[in-house]
Amino acid sequence: MRQRVVQVALTAVLVALALLAVPLALAIRSSLYAGQRDALERAALSAAVRVSPDYTAGDPVELPAPHPGERIGLYDPRLGLREGTGPSTGDPAVRRALGAVVARTGTGGELVVAVPVSHAEQVIGVVRAASPVSAVRGRILLGWGALAGACALALAVAVLVARRQARALAAPLEHLSRHCRAVTAGDLGARAAPSSIAEVDQVARTHNEMLHGLTELLCHERDFTANASHQLRTPLTGLQLALEAGLAKDDAGLRPVLREALDTSRRLHRTVEEVLRLARAHGLHRPPVPDRPVRRLLREAEEHWHGPLARDGRRLVCAARDVPEEALVPGAPVAEILGVLLDNARVHGRGTVRLTVRDLGDALALDVADEGTVAGDGTRLFERGHTGGTGSGIGLALARDLALSLDGRLSLARPAHTTFTLLVPLGPAG
């Protein structure tokens, strides 16, 4: 930001200097040449008034003393030098002056001005004044040097002013950037401070208002999640205690039903805990610790989902390909994801359901496949609220969020013979 402001300011200054300095340099050159010719013309006129009409008869001529570097000479109508200094024979400027005009030329490295001397309406001679061009060029170079110095001074002042303005403009934006980074890091109480720039202050106020609204919304959602989880955990705990008490009684007919109800309540309890963990983890990168062997997780999934699929006349096939016994994954979230995928295959899929675990070295791939087909855009399956049937469209979105919280990934691998693949980083043994 600061460099761009300085670059823009310097570009504007350089363009302005170029537009002003180039014409001014040409004007200095033209003015000095014109001034030197005017000086030569004045010197020639001053000498011409001193020439007597009888100089051709031998009357002496007293020409004024020339300035340093100048030469003044008197020429007769036959172009011969009669007095002063100059070429022995008149040059083209002298020839032109014999025509009763003032001649100005530049030849042979000299500036030349020739003034006619008239008597009785006749030209009786020519006074020629000349000076070297190098003297004028020296003054031109001095003038250009002074102009370059002024431009350099203006450029230096522009750099200082541009840097100061760049700091003044960039400081509020840099503060706003630091504030945004603090919010990203989790400090929702950070607010952008006002500055002296109205446009930046407007952005800061809008940002603060947006952040305030988002903070309020997030607090309401977190409070709702915490309240709902708390209110669900209490009756679930009571239900589990009641079911455990029923199992303690000697009633062989009710024991299988009570055990299944107890297992279901425990899974519901784990689901509530996992949803609460996911809600608390938003904005914080804290993946859960791998704590359950993947083969054990596979057996638990098979035990739970074999019955529901069998009642629908469908098979469940579970397999682990070269997966070590000690391979660990976060048990609760992975179990929830597999539950969503297997339930999705039971409700929306067809044919045999296959749950396969593959070892990828530093990660595990868990594939849930059936013999159905996904119609339409498969990427929309993970959008919250999108459903192809009578569901709520939350299950796959929740499974994707749980996968991201594990530093993993959930994707639709194949739409035909529908296959979902969950990639989970592999935890260390033990």
CATH for 332: 3.30.565.10
pLDDT interval class at 430 (50, 70, 90): very low
Q: What are 236's two structure tokens?
A: 């679930």
Q: List pLDDT tens digits, range 321-330.
A: 788 878 888 8
Contact between 32 and 139 under an 8 Å Cβ cutoff? The reply is yes
In a domain, 188, yes or no: no
Rounded to the nearest integer, the mean pLDDT of the chain is: 82
Domain residue limits at 212: 198-281
429, pLDDT greater than 50: no
Q: Check whether residue 263 and residue 297 sit in a common domain.
A: no
So what's the pLDDT on residue 234?
54
Residue 188's closest CA among 163, 165, 210, 166? Answer: 210
Task: Work out whether strand 328-329 and strand 110-119 pair parallel, antiparallel, or are unpaired.
Answer: unpaired
Contact 226, 278 (CB under 8 A): no
pLDDT of residue 116: 94
For residue 234, give every residue at least 6 positions away whose Cβ sits within 8 Å of its Cβ, in sequence order, or none.
none
pLDDT tens readout for residues 255-268: 676 666 766 666 67
Residue 368: which residues within 8 A CB-CB, separation 6 or more? 338, 341, 342, 345, 353, 354, 355, 419, 420, 422
Concatenating the DSSP letter of every residue in 6-71 gives HHHHHHHHHHHHHHHHHHHHHHHHHHHHHHHHHHHHHHHHHHHTT--GGGGGT----PPPPPTT-E
The tokens 């000697």 sit on which residue? 250
Q: How many domains does the chain have?
A: 3
DSSP line for 204-265: HHHHHHHHHHHHHHHHHHHHHHHHHHHHHHHHHHHHHHHHHHHHHS--TTTHHHHHHHHHHH
Domain endpoint, select from 262, 281, 300: 281
Task: Kindly state whether residue 333 falls inside one of the protein's structural domains.
Answer: yes
CA–CA separation, 134 vs 67, rounded Å? 15
275 and 300 part of one domain? no
Which one of 238, 256, 281 terminates a domain? 281
Say how far residue 386 (Cα) sits from the centre of its chain.
35
Is 347 a residue whose pLDDT tops 80?
A: yes
Give the pTM.
0.46
* Residue 203 within a domain: yes
Per-residue tokens: 396: 């796959």
Distance from C-alpha of 253 to C-alpha of 344, rounded to nearest angstrom: 32
Instruction: Report percent pLDDT > 70 for the chain.
Output: 80
The CA distance from 61 to 286, in Å, is 111
Q: What tens digit of pLDDT does each residue of 104-149 get?
A: 998 778 999 999 998 888 899 999 999 999 889 989 999 999 999 9
Question: What is the Cα–Cα distance from 78 to 287, expressed in whole angstroms?
Answer: 112
pLDDT at 352 over 80: yes
**Lowest mean pLDDT across 9-13, 288-292, 351-355, 360-364:** 288-292
Residues 306 and 235 in one domain: no
Contact 421, 367 (CB under 8 A): yes
Domain harbouring 127, CATH code: 3.30.450.20
